[in-house]
Structure formats: structure tokens, C-alpha cells
Amino acid sequence: MTKKVKFINTNQSAFYSTVRKRVDTYFTANNISIHANGAMWFKAIFFLTGLTALYLLVCFANLSLPVLLLLAILLGMFGAFVGFNICHDAIHNSFSGNATVNKIFSFVFNLIGASPYVWNICHNIVHHTYTNIAGHDEDIDVAPGLIRFSDTETVNKLQRYQHYYAFILYSFSMLSWVFRKDYKKFFQHKIGEHTVVHPRVEYYKLFGYKAIYYFLFIAFPLLVMPITFGQFVIGFLAMQLAQGLVLGLVFQLAHVVEGTDFPLPNDEGNMEEAWAAHQMRTTANFAGGSKIAAFLCGGLNRQIEHHLFPKICHIHYPAIGLIVKDTAREFDLPYIESITFTGALQSHYRTLRRLGKETYQTNKNINREVYTVPETVVVIL
């Protein structure tokens, strides 16, 4: 049985208390709210308007099939951008200081295919607490048996090629989320080692909001669009695969790149480092200086700042990132980052190759119990 993980290294607590005090001072000294500012509200309006406009164009504009296919791909990408830029902050209660505003924007998550209730448990509670800890952080259990993300896992022959096919599998992540993942997580007794007991109303919400999504993106287009069922399937898959690829790449570049750790607790369930130090070793940034990445990724390209300060709206991450980086250096902690998106992508590719092909060639029995058959002793009388 996996024991509950505890971060017991109090000697490292000075880092978090120091960086938190400095970040608090930044907001106080500059009289800045930790929540959304004008730029953040512009992003929210832009992405919500874009998502709505694309949906209406696809359903009612009566365009040619190639144009509809392109719009379906863009619709999927905008679904991911809405999730990154609006829903993610809202579910963390960091978009606004007004609980009603956060609740409204959290609800939008249902309209792009995912349950905000299930996400809150899997992401906010489990992933943010037990980042990259096998058996606890289920975010690293992506296609078990097909993709190996950690040195603590076994390796198989197929995974020799995971640095090629993993990117194809990422494309299917949204399809899985829409039709499988939320249901699976909801009806698990535990998510990681976190025991879940759902209020009765959440059962109705899960199925009810999924039904709304299925109506909006399956039934309604079939009712109003002059297309065949086969043409609809192509468009629907294009939308889902585009959304899934964007989601998969951004999520994996934050934790599965060169330099990030996948530590395990000791036999008593204790981690050797304090929680904040653990976050610095298991989380990575990419394209921190890119305005395009900042606009599109909703701060998920600055996962270090997000994991340390999930209650602060992502629009402020570039500013507080300077504070976090300097403080990490002061306390001799890593600040893992790739300067560009391409650099992070290459790092992820090399990590997949190392964990798959290179590990299999070096030790294909890694983390397996290998049993040897005793030699037969022949006694001649």
C-alpha cells in the first residue's frame, strides 16, 4: 500500500517564506491586485469571442468543406486557449477576487469538453501537491504501457519508439478527456492516493454538462449543417485532435523535459525536500520571454511561478518570475527553463528517447523483479 506523502524538510522552508514575502511586497509596493487586470480581461474577451465566432461560422456560414475543416481545427485550438487562459485561472480562483466571476468562467470548462469539478481534484489538489511523484500524480500516467515518463517505471520494447509516436498520442488526449477521462477519474475510489467522496449533485452535473457538450458539438451540427455524417466525423476529429495536440504539448513541456526530477518518497512516505524545493526540481518553464507564448499559453509556459503561486493570476507571472528566479539562485535551487518553445520541444523529445529507446538498450529489465531458475542438480547413484 502506498503511504501518504509528507514533505518534512523544514530546513528548506526559508526559500518559500522568502520568495512569498518578496512577491507579496511586489504587489503591495506597486498597489497591484493579484487578480486579473485590463490585459487579462482583454485576453478573456478575445478568446471567448473567437471561440464563439468560430463555432457559429462552422455551424451556419455554409462554407466550402476545406474552409470548414480549417475552421474546425482553429475551433479546437481556441478551445485549448480558452482552457489555458480563462478556465485554468478561474478554477484556481485566481482570475478574480469575486467568487461568482470565477464560478462563471469555471463553468466554461464544461463547454470545451472537460469537467471543472474533476479537474479541480486531479490538478489543483493532487498534481499541485504531488508533482511528478509516481503513484500520486496521475498527470504523469499518460497512456500507461505506451509512454514512459519516469525513471522509476519499467520499460518495454514498444517504448523504444515513444519519442516518435508520443506526439501522435497527445493528439488523442482531448478525445479521451471528452469521452473517457472525466468518467474514469470521477468513479475512481482514489485519484493517486487522494480519497474522493463526491456530493450527490456532482453526479448530476457530470452527466448533465457532458450532455450539453455532446449536444453542442455533435447533435446540433448534425441537425443544422448540410453535411454528411462522414464529413461531420472528419471535422469533429480534426477539432479534437488539434485541441488535444495543443493541450498535450503544453502540459508535457512543463514537467517532462531534461533537468526535471521524478523523486520518490522513502519507505515512511516522506520526501527529502520541502514542498517548494520539490516544485523547483519537478517543474520547468519555456519561452518565458515570448509575448506570443504568454498570450496563448495562459501562463502555463511559466509553470514554476504557477506551481508556487497558483492563486495569483497568470498575467503577473512575467513580473514575479524575476523574483522567483533570483530567490532560487540565492537558495541554490534550480530554475529549469528553455528559452524557446522549440528548445523545450527538443528537450522533451530527447527525454522521451532517453526514457524509452536508450533505457531499453541499456537495461530492459529496469525496475522489474527478475527471477532466475535454480540450476538443476543431478545426483548419480
- Given a cut of 90, whether residue 266 has pLDDT beyond it is no
Task: Name the amino acid, one letter, at 268.
Answer: E
Range from 4-13, 32-41, 98-107, 299-308 carrying the lowest mean pLDDT: 4-13
Give the strand pairing for 194-195 and 190-191.
antiparallel
Report pLDDT for 151. 87
- Given a cut of 60, whether residue 381 has pLDDT beyond it is no
Using alpha carbons only, give the angle 289, 80, 196 rounded to the nearest 5 degrees.
110
Convert the pLDDT of each residue in 120-156 to its tens digit: 999 999 999 999 998 888 888 888 899 999 888 999 9
Report pLDDT for 291. 94
- Given a cut of 60, whether residue 371 has pLDDT beyond it is no
C-alpha cell at 358: 536508450
Mean pLDDT of 172-187: 95
Q: How far apart are CA 217 and CA 223, in angstroms?
A: 11
Q: Rounded mean pLDDT of the chain?
A: 93
Percent of the chain beyond pLDDT 90?
83
For the chain, the straight-line distance linking the first and the last C-alpha, in angstroms and rounded, comes to: 50
Residue 3 Cα distances to 194, 263, 267, 271, 369, angstroms:
11, 15, 8, 11, 21
Q: Do residues 298 and 89 make contact, with C-beta atoms less than 8 angstroms apart?
A: yes
Convert the pLDDT of each residue in 42-80 to its tens digit: 999 999 999 999 999 999 999 999 999 999 999 999 999
Convert the pLDDT of each residue in 299-341 to its tens digit: 999 999 999 999 999 999 999 999 999 999 999 999 999 999 9
Q: How far apart are CA 147 and CA 143, in angstroms?
A: 6
Report pLDDT for 3. 66
Mean pLDDT of 88-96: 97
For residue 14, how many C-alpha atoms fall within 13 Å in the half-sphere facing its CB? Answer: 6
Report pLDDT for 374. 52
Residue 285 Cα distances to 21, 290, 322, 336, 350, angstroms:
22, 11, 13, 6, 17
- Given a cut of 70, whether residue 172 has pLDDT beyond it is yes
| Helix segments in the chain, DSSP class H | 13-29, 38-60, 65-82, 88-91, 99-111, 116-119, 162-171, 173-176, 182-186, 200-214, 220-224, 229-252, 275-282, 291-297, 303-308, 317-330, 341-353, 359-363
Mean pLDDT of 219-246: 97
Q: How far apart are CA 313 and CA 94, in angstroms?
A: 5
Closest CA to 192 of 153, 136, 119: 136
Q: Look at the pTM and tell me if it is higher than 0.85.
A: yes
Work out the pLDDT band at 33, boundaries 50, 70, 90.
very high
- Of the two residues 346 and 10, the one the predictor is more confident about is 346
- Given a cut of 90, whether residue 1 has pLDDT beyond it is no
- Given a cut of 80, whether residue 11 has pLDDT beyond it is no
Q: Do residues 196 and 190 make contact, with C-beta atoms less than 8 angstroms apart?
A: yes
